[in-house]
Structure 1
Amino acid sequence: MASIKLSVERLTEGLYIKLPLQWTDHPFLLNHFKIKDHQQIRLIKNLGVKFVYLIPEKSDTKPLDPDTPVDALTEDESHFLDRQAEKLWKEKQGRITRLKNYKLKLQRCEKNFNRSMGQLRSIVGKIKSRPVTAIQEAEGLVEDMVDALLESDSIALHLMNDSKESEDIYFHSLNVAILSMMLAKSCGKSAREIKTIALGALFHDMGKLKIPSAILRKTTPLTEPEQNYLKLHTKYSLDLANLAESFPEAAKPILSQHHELLDGSGYPSQLKGDEIDNNAQLVAIVNAYDTLCHPQDPNKARIPYSALSYLFKNKKEQYNSDYLALFIRLMGVYPPGSVVQLSNQQLGLVISVNSESLLFPNVLLYDPSVPSNEAPIIDLEESGLRIEQAIPPHKLPENVHTYLNPRIRMSFYFDADD
């Protein structure tokens, strides 16, 4: 939007302005906002700036005339203003500290994610030649993740870095395992059940290692023979698990039944309702969600918000309704990876959802006055802002898209609060 350079002497309530300062150089929550009272005007003038940028399209009124007389501050008003400025600065410093701590948490989460991904690559590399070792390592990986998940009451789900195209199976498998574990925890399942679900989710698509890449990578509709070949991956996954006697029997139905649907329209056995293993029903929802976000044809990929809405509106008869409702609560209305427009019209990227505040995720803001690697991350509940709508990344202006860097592939990992 076009902006106009405006003298601070012409400020009045209702103007939408942008400060010519870095986010850390003023006490306000955001670099641009609508002026709500005369106190904010006094605070802006006390920053020592001679002008601000006016955004007429977002303003409710017009600037004061240049010759409008300025009221002098009384001594009491000046002291009050100083106290308010000091209060705002303390709040701002608190936000900056929390932002630094939050970014440290993200770094820790990213480190754990990369370690888990490395372990999964090692497991997959051994699954055919050394299945017993692979299963043992997978059980160790699952044990560590579940223990971390259960140690804390407050769990945040974070958006991770992009994946490499050639490693789709790893990222999909870890995604489904992570989200299935979190869903199982929210259902109140025991540690033993969560570990069974996590192991089954981790191996649910390993049979695709035996499917030709030409079929897996094909972006045009599959022929019927190709579809039938692809559907064999459930059998192949089970075959791989059966190579190791130690693979838990309770996890095997997840491998063979995660494409079965309650109405009998799934595969490979067209099972219906309670004929489908309960844990397989749980993993099926998570698998469907991640597949909607990352289909074989990238042009058909849905944004997280759209994927959840699609499952809820169109697939309720095919999936366990209790698990689906809990999954939507777990992910939040706007899951990590969603590009959103806020109530102040600012754009941002949802990067984490806290299970304690589902409607108020943490959002990385688009602010061209701040380097992208220093972009503020705000807690919506604290900010008083709300999300108005989700925006498909391809509709973003190029400069906004580059800044926010919405992921082509969304990968998730959790972080337990200390």
Structure 2
Amino acid sequence: MPDISIAVTDLRIGHFVKLPGSWKDHPFLFSSFRIKDEEQLQIIRNLGLAQVTIDPYRSTGNIPEPVTGEVVSATPSEDVAPAPAAPADPIRQQQQDLRRSMRFADRQFSNALSPLRESLGQLNLKPDEGLATVAQLIRTAAAHLTQTEEPIGLQLVRSVQQGDVLLLHSLNTAYIAMLMAREAGWSPLEIENAGLAALVHDIGELKIPTQISRKRVELTKSEINFMRMHVQYGFDQLSQLKAFSPEIRQAVLQHQERLDGSGYPNGLKGEQIGALARLISVADYYEEQLHPRSATRPGQPNQVVASLFKKADIWFDGGYIKLLIKVLGIYPPGSLVRLSDDTLALVMASDPQTPLKPIVLPYERGRVSEGVDLIPLQQDERQISGLCKLEELSQAQHDFFNLGKHFCYYYTS
């Protein structure tokens, strides 16, 4: 039985769907699969498709009537010449591709956030199920990374609603750490381990009273000491559950150690700190400093990078700092920049092939950011002439860029 095209509203659990495009255009690992639950069904319905192709032979349940009664043939008929396609506007097409990439990143991050919240909430009652969900999240993201041969950068995600800071921090750190591990030439299993270690590195904070862990002003000395216990709490919990590999559990314990011995909990120095823990500590510090819990304003990417450089080979491994810079680009996503024509812009995505020419969102007075064209500087005459400070922005500019939200990241190629 040949494939048929049906309205997306007629799609049901059990239908074997064939989505257009590749995995870059949707959050699923494969483009052809049988819909197994309501969550997958809703995700497909939210992709913006009017109709979708299904394979009736491999589907279960009722098969609806095809759209306009037409069948999607596996091989086009040679007797009917296809209608000539209308010439595409290359600029419009490019903008559609850029916006599609942004929507994909938004979906991927949001789709990971909800099950992560559930899995961490299940650790006490159903630890096996919770940890299995965590592992699957990372395996899916790691598979995308290892299956893509082309250079990959980071895409700024701005649509995520404000959520638990610990969840946002953990997921961001995991994505950054996996991309660093990929750039370091680590094996697929090592990339997966980097993601798992980063995702659970602060899991011990769940045992810290929320009046301390979520305190938004400076902590007292006793509160600082209590917070520092989170590394031991996390290590003990994962060890008790025999969760993940010993290397991952060690990284959870050691990610706050520093090369000069000034870290905690054991004051380890240099090579006493495992390689995975040294990589995680760089990604963790960068993300944490972007959103310091006791500060009223978030840190700016260039300031955090400058702070890291000052601590290279003192607190942090200089080699991993260089990897982070390679992943982030010279102007990391979230940077406020001034272009050579004096346009104010927000860096939306790093381009690993042209680190000085990222993709930016320009400020346009009186408009909303969703309606403004992005600028891929690689194809534009303008250049970045300098960085801007948050305090230099008007309230209108601040609102346009939606700077009150947590900076979140996903991959872009």
Same fold (TM over 0.5): yes
2:227 paired with 1:263:
no
Aligned match for 1:355, one of 348, 352, 355: 352
Q: Is the 8 A contact 1:218 1:297 kept in 2?
A: yes
Cα distance per residue 1:357-396 (max 9 Å; x no partner): 2111100011226543211101112102211222122320
Q: Is the 8 A contact 2:131 2:243 kept in 1?
A: yes
| Matching residue's letter, 2:183 | S
Cα distance per residue 1:41-66 (max 9 Å; x no partner): xxxxxxxxxxxxxxxxxxxxxxxxxx
In structure 2, do the counterparts of structure 1 residues 268 and 163 end up closer, same or farther at CA, with 3 Å as the change threshold?
A: farther
Q: What's the counterpart of residue 94 of structure 2?
A: 98
Runs of 5+ in structure 2 lacking a partner?
Answer: 1-86
Aligned match for 1:330, one of 315, 327, 330: 327
Q: Which has the higher helix share?
A: 1
In structure 2, do the counterparts of structure 1 residues 284 and 411 end up closer, same or farther at CA, with 3 Å as the change threshold?
A: same
Q: Please give the secondary structure, in 2, of the residue aligned with 1:298.
A: coil
* Structure with the greater alpha carbon radius of gyration: 1
Aligned match for 1:373, one of 366, 370, 375: 370
Counting only pairs closer than 5 Å after superposition, residues 114-263 of structure 1 correspond to structure 2 as: 114-152=110-148, 153-161=150-158, 167-263=164-260
2:283 paired with 1:304:
no
Q: Is the 8 A contact 1:215 1:230 kept in 2?
A: yes
Q: Decide which moves more: 244-253 or 284-293.
A: 244-253
Give the superposed CA RMSD.
Answer: 1.8
Q: Is the 8 A contact 2:348 2:361 kept in 1?
A: yes
Shift of 1:407: 4.4
What is the TM-score normalised by the length of structure 2?
0.75
In structure 2, do the counterparts of structure 1 residues 407 and 98 end up closer, same or farther at CA, with 3 Å as the change threshold?
A: farther
Name the CA distance, whole Å, in 2 between partners of 1:233 and 1:165. Answer: 23
Q: Decide which moves more: 204-213 or 215-224.
A: 215-224
2:393 paired with 1:410:
no
Cα distance per residue 1:6-57 (max 9 Å; x no partner): xxxxxxxxxxxxxxxxxxxxxxxxxxxxxxxxxxxxxxxxxxxxxxxxxxxx
Moved over 3 A (4+): 162-166
Shift of 1:154: 2.9
Aligned match for 2:107, one of 101, 111, 114: 111
Q: Is the 8 A contact 1:349 1:406 kept in 2?
A: no
Name the CA distance, whole Å, in 2 between partners of 1:386 and 1:157. Answer: 20
Q: Is the 8 A contact 2:362 2:372 kept in 1?
A: yes
Q: Please give the secondary structure, in 2, of the residue aligned with 1:368.
A: coil
2:398 paired with 1:401:
yes
Cα distance per residue 1:95-133 (max 9 Å; x no partner): 221011110121122111111111211211111221122
| Matching residue's letter, 2:140 | D
Q: Is the 8 A contact 1:181 1:198 kept in 2?
A: yes
Cα distance per residue 1:46-88 (max 9 Å; x no partner): xxxxxxxxxxxxxxxxxxxxxxxxxxxxxxxxxxxxxxxxxxx
Aligned match for 1:387, one of 370, 378, 384: 384
Shift of 1:244: 2.3
Q: Is the 8 A contact 2:346 2:401 kept in 1?
A: yes
Q: Is the 8 A contact 1:128 1:240 kept in 2?
A: no
Q: Please give the secondary structure, in 1, of the residue aligned with 2:296.
A: helix
In structure 2, do the counterparts of structure 1 residues 164 and 212 end up closer, same or farther at CA, with 3 Å as the change threshold?
A: farther
| Matching residue's letter, 1:203 | V
In structure 2, do the counterparts of structure 1 residues 405 and 96 end up closer, same or farther at CA, with 3 Å as the change threshold?
A: same
Runs of 5+ in structure 1 lacking a partner?
Answer: 1-89
Name the CA distance, whole Å, in 2 between partners of 1:164 and 1:402. Answer: 15
- What fraction of aligned residue pairs are identical, expressed as a percent? 29
| Matching residue's letter, 2:145 | L
Q: Is the 8 A contact 2:106 2:160 kept in 1?
A: no
Name the CA distance, whole Å, in 2 between partners of 1:142 and 1:397. Answer: 39
Q: Please give the secondary structure, in 2, of the residue aligned with 1:95.
A: helix
What is the TM-score normalised by the length of structure 1?
0.74
Name the CA distance, whole Å, in 2 between partners of 1:409 and 1:361. Answer: 20
